[in-house]
Structure 1
Amino acid sequence: MTCRCLLQSRPPLRARSLYFYVRSSTAFKIVLYPHKTLVSDQLLACGAGAVGRLLHSRAPHASSSSTLWLREAATASATPKNLRGSHNLPQKRARKKPVAVAMGPEKRSVSEAGAGSAVSAQPQQQQQPRKKQRKSSSPDALLTAEVRQAAKHNDPLAGLAAYDKAKAEGLELNISAMETLLYLCSGGRSWDTQIANSSAPAISAATAAEALPVTEATHSADRPMSEGSVEGSSQAVQACDHQPSSANGTDPMTDSTSKQDARKADHSTSLSSEAWADIAQRGRAIWQEHEQRGSANTEVAYTALGRLEAMAGRPEGALEAAKRSLAAGHQAKLRSFIPALKSFCAEGDFLQAFEVQSLILEHDLDLTEEEYALLIGVCAHGAPWAQARAVLGSMSRELTGLQESTLAAVQRYFRSAAAKEALGVGQSEWVVEQCTVSEDGRPSCCTGQLQAMDLSEEEYEAFGRGVAALAAQRERKPRDFEAFVSFLGRNGPYGAVVDGANAALFGQNWEEGGFSFAQIQAVVGQLRCERPALKPLVVLHQSRLKAGPANEPTAAAFLDKLRRQKQLYSAPFGSNDDWYWLYAAVQAGPTALLASCDEMRDHVFQLLRPKYFRKWKQRHQVYYKFKANGTALLTYPAPFTVCMQHLSDSGAWLFPAAQSDRWLCAMPR
């Protein structure tokens, strides 16, 4: 076997590693360990019938002999040209037992071998990777695995089959398996469909056919989707509301495996309503058996019980399950009340539905758009105008753009007999139609002007406390964020906060792009020109201030000026600078602006209460882009807020669509 060195001559270094190309397409490495210094001067060829220039020692150590080791390094390319040096071969490989290259009866250094000696070695055969031995699982663990596998496919029959098999073998469900099985029996991922099919037709009648095609219009390119989307709301509630409660740390109601396997076959869709009724009955029997044994029930189990009661058409039982969960000392969660709320709304019982809403608000839980759609929909069953108006007012404060299903519920209410109670003298009906809104906030369907809706003073304080609490909780060193709060107290308030990293990286995803301090300077300069009364603050991570671009003369001068003016803050290592610029902008109050093109959709911002965050973002975020000459073009918030509003001039109610520029207008006539 012939080997040929692919490295050029190198200077003498201790522990030099040389790579060789072997005709068998296997690369080997000669490792000259630190206890001996062997130096390569020239290329080496070695093998049967080949005599090459050998390594010789320039600085031998005390020992007169050294050992040359040969061990496998990587699989090489078929042609040596593809390997231009040692850096092309993997540096981290599994450790293998080194094989000594025999040099005679005794181990001799290469320098002793002489120029005419030949070195030959047979590489060690590759060791076969050891197969991992399967750990023997207990019957209980196998049962849990089968039930969880059934949950991945949303297959309640498979879960019940595993349960029956366990009972036949004398096994009992552990807490995790019991929760997952109850989750399956209560509908699993499709429980909304099951409650709609098993209850009165009030919910299932909410079809898009009744609604005006508000979302058929062209999507707006100027309004970010996050401003009108309810996804941030539901995800934010899930982040704070859904926490693992099982013994193994998983939650079948929100387990990530369910989301990952949502694309797999959903076996529940092939089941009839009669089959689901039998499955729900089995689920209640399993619950009773578990309760008779005196086992502790978790919040997840109580939520599943509430779903089972709702599927059976017993909303009072669903509400009782939520109350029992609270009485057992479990943390109040929105999902515990949803089965009762949906069931009461499905039956058109607005009195009980608003009782559930009161319980939710008593525990400081935020309703999402889905719950508001249920409440405004149930108002069509004879609720007084005062209650309907209260729901509309809450929607105006806490929601922005509305989904099509919510707009359909709004239309059903304003077309109902109950809505006529709000009509004045000489008015006979509500006219519900589509409309557009001009750039200055004037609707095409009626007279009036949309207003800019911002947070109240109390809401600003609550929002600021929430941001600070989350930041301190997630910082490695909470004192770092406390130091920033002190900095703002000494030098603030800052009316224009700049997300430095976002500005510097905007449009830089090209070959010669990089971190541009010139773009930060352009944004700051334009803010000073157009909003001279607002004191700017640039927030950057400390790593950005120590990198190469920050040392360029222009950038260094710009940063020094900001430091002298107390208009630069560097988030320390281990901190997330997002919390810093967000808190600074919120703390500055109603007149502050945040210059950033970050849509703030990631998990960090989903932890914030959406009823504060989305409306604040819409009123205070400034977007930018850059001209060819480097000048920044700033886009300020619109003069009105994209949210549901009531126009006193015409008495009309306007509802924005989340996925288009269209609005829904309900106007008395």
Structure 2
Amino acid sequence: MATSPLTLQLQLQRSLSFSHSLIPNLYHSFPSFTTLNFNPRKQPTIQCSSRNSPVETTNRNSVRNFSKKIPSPSSVSHTDKSVSLESKSLNRVIEKKKIENENVVEKKKKKIKDSRRVKLRLSLDLCSKRGDLNGALSFYDSAISQGVKLGQHQYTVLLYLCSSAAIGVLRPAKSGSGTRTLNTQVSSVNRNDDDNRFCSDSDDDNRVLDNSVSVSCSSSEKLDENDEFKNLALRRGFEVYENMCMNKVEMNEAALTSVARMAMAMCDGDMAFEMVKQMKILGLSPRLRSYGPALSTYCNNGEIDKAFDVENHMLEHGVYPEEPELERLLRVSIRAGKSDRVYYVLHKLRSSVRKVSNTTADLIVDWFRSKTASKVGRKKWDKRLIMEAMENNGGGWHGIGWLGKGRWQVLQTSVGNDGMCKCCGVQLATIDLDPVETENFAKSVASIAISKEKNSNFQTFQKWLDYYGPFEAVIDAANVGLFGQWKFMPSKINAVVNEMRLKLPSKKFPLIVLHHRRIRGDKRDAPISKAVVDRWNNAGALYATPTGSNDDW
């Protein structure tokens, strides 16, 4: 394009040409930029051309008006910034919408997974209720294939079903009585509570366990089928347990107890006991049912020392054996001929069970009729020491060990309402708390009182009691004074105190416990006679409980 030397070029997006030259200017469009030419001549014509349009002629005023509309470089820059901000804002909106859509998709997926998890839980609970192991394993396999994450409850139900089938106490579509029996090696798993069933339904009519492990089969083929089912339960049970550990699902006492039961089915007492020890490591509290598999396995295997190790572990963790556990310990002790162990367990039965079942009674009779029982015992002993030991133990037993040798006389008899044996005519002793039980009871009462009393009032009472005690009897003076009427009568307290003194061997005043307001009197009741109060105080027999202290202690 021909231009004068004074031509000023400005690049724009479209091509424009302005000329005041007498010679017509030729215009050529450029593909990528626009050119503006200014020539200070007197020619009034102005040519405007576009890349795709013909040249148009306008007057000078139009050119001026048009030139005013051309944006300055600063305004172009400001526009670019606005466009950039709008672009960023649009990108943020698009990104936000994208995230929202992703969240909606995730929520839908989570809802589907939650729905599957809920259905799985309900299905497994129903299988537990019916004792349907195959159905439960089918639901489990389906959930794993669909990527459903199982929780603690689902794993616990599966382990319970597998362990029950492995030890032979799973009865599909049947219910058990829930009582504890002694004629089966797994009686420890048959409790009288709903904890044996790890399902949400607590209806007592829907028990899963039966109380017998015996399987009545009419053919060896049936026995083989039963063994195959137990092996399947063991294999799948340990598979479920491994998955639970691999997925780091939190363990609970019920799950570990089920694993211990599977170990019992394999006659592995060490593994069953290890499950109990794991509970302590995980901060779980073992229960009586937790010890049953290990104790039962050791007793059945004749491992007497390990069996009593389990019992010691129970006592250390505040779990006390009941008759089924003691019956197993007694049986294994008799088989091993351990007379000292038999003596220990018999006293355990005496102190904790009192009245034994027929099965345990038959076992005790078998012991006293055995040759081993006739050979153990002292030939000589000090009768005085025996009587002192019996008195110190609360009466009825001495705890020194077997006395005498020779065959025992075993007879069946009954005891009258007066406590007299109808066979030998001996009066049964009234058994009191032994010294250890008395001390533990006193400590427990003191700890409760101290925790509830204010200003160490009970500790003050303990010091007072150490100074003025001991007492042979205690009188709750408030109840005596109010007995039979609404009005407090101090004369009744005095009458009971005097009568009590006459009956006590030492003729000493009994301990009189009365709130200090009763002694001074209030608006309704007159104070107790000063002479009577002084008499009790001089004898060191009256303790006035302060405000905030419970006189029932």
TM-score by length of 2: 0.51
Q: Of 519, 523, 530, which aligns to 2:503?
A: 530
Q: Of 155, 164, 184, which aligns to 1:178?
A: 155
SS at 1:433 equivalent: coil
Q: Which has the higher strand share?
A: 1
Residues 177 and 436 of structure 1: CA distance in aligned 2, closer, same or farther (over 3 Å): same
Aligned position for 1:293: 247
Residue-by-residue CA offset, 1:40-78 (whole Å, 9 max, x unaligned): xxxxxxxxxxxxxxxxxxxxxxxxxxxxxxxxxxxxxxx
The offset of 1:356, in angstroms, is: 2.5
Aligned position for 1:495: 472
Q: Of 413, 421, 445, which aligns to 1:467?
A: 445
Query: Is there any run of 5+ residues in structure 1 with no aligned partner, and where?
Result: 1-134, 207-233, 239-250, 581-669
Contact 2:182 2:359 in 1 (8 A): no
Residues 416 and 302 of structure 1: CA distance in aligned 2, closer, same or farther (over 3 Å): farther
* 2: CA distance, partners of 1:263 / 1:313: 31
Residues 357 and 479 of structure 1: CA distance in aligned 2, closer, same or farther (over 3 Å): same
The offset of 1:287, in angstroms, is: 1.3
- 1:343 equivalent to 2:312? Answer no
Contact 1:203 1:346 in 2 (8 A): no
Aligned position for 2:206: 265
Contact 1:183 1:252 in 2 (8 A): no
* TM-align CA RMSD: 5.7
* 2: CA distance, partners of 1:149 / 1:516: 61
Residue-by-residue CA offset, 1:158-208 (whole Å, 9 max, x unaligned): 7656645643542223234434543454449x999679x9xxxx95279xx
Contact 2:514 2:551 in 1 (8 A): yes
Instruction: Return the letter of the residue paired with 1:469.
Output: S
Residues 454 and 417 of structure 1: CA distance in aligned 2, closer, same or farther (over 3 Å): same
Instruction: Return the letter of the residue paired with 1:464.
Output: A
Aligned position for 1:388: 342
Aligned position for 2:311: 357
Instruction: Return the letter of the residue paired with 1:263.
Output: D
Instruction: Return the letter of the residue paired with 1:462.
Output: N
Residue-by-residue CA offset, 1:392-438 (whole Å, 9 max, x unaligned): 24444555444444334323433455545438999875443332446
Residue-by-residue CA offset, 1:529-561 (whole Å, 9 max, x unaligned): 42274644466899x989x9x97658x749996
* 1: CA distance, partners of 2:253 / 2:203: 24
Residues 138 and 205 of structure 1: CA distance in aligned 2, closer, same or farther (over 3 Å): closer
* 2: CA distance, partners of 1:370 / 1:523: 48
- 1:432 equivalent to 2:410? Answer yes
Contact 1:541 1:577 in 2 (8 A): yes
Q: Of 92, 96, 118, which aligns to 1:142?
A: 118
Q: Of 303, 328, 333, which aligns to 1:374?
A: 328
Q: Of 144, 151, 157, which aligns to 1:167?
A: 144
* 2: CA distance, partners of 1:138 / 1:457: 59
* 1: CA distance, partners of 2:137 / 2:324: 31
* 2: CA distance, partners of 1:161 / 1:570: 69
Aligned position for 1:231: none
The offset of 1:341, in angstroms, is: 1.0
Residues 252 and 450 of structure 1: CA distance in aligned 2, closer, same or farther (over 3 Å): closer
Residue-by-residue CA offset, 1:290-333 (whole Å, 9 max, x unaligned): 12334443444323321232244433321232233345565565
SS at 1:435 equivalent: coil
Residues 255 and 175 of structure 1: CA distance in aligned 2, closer, same or farther (over 3 Å): closer
Q: Between 390-399 and 496-505, report the one with greater CA deviation.
A: 496-505
Contact 2:474 2:512 in 1 (8 A): yes
Contact 1:537 1:568 in 2 (8 A): yes
* 2: CA distance, partners of 1:154 / 1:389: 44
Residue-by-residue CA offset, 1:612-655 (whole Å, 9 max, x unaligned): xxxxxxxxxxxxxxxxxxxxxxxxxxxxxxxxxxxxxxxxxxxx
Greater RCO, 1 or 2 (C-alpha within 8 Å, sep 6+): 1
SS at 2:410 equivalent: strand
Q: How many residues align?
A: 385
SS at 2:321 equivalent: coil
Identity %: 25
Q: Of 419, 444, 451, which aligns to 2:422?
A: 444
The offset of 1:388, in angstroms, is: 1.5
Query: Is there any run of 5+ residues in structure 2 with no aligned partner, and where?
Result: 1-110, 186-190, 216-225, 380-403
The offset of 1:502, in angstroms, is: 8.4
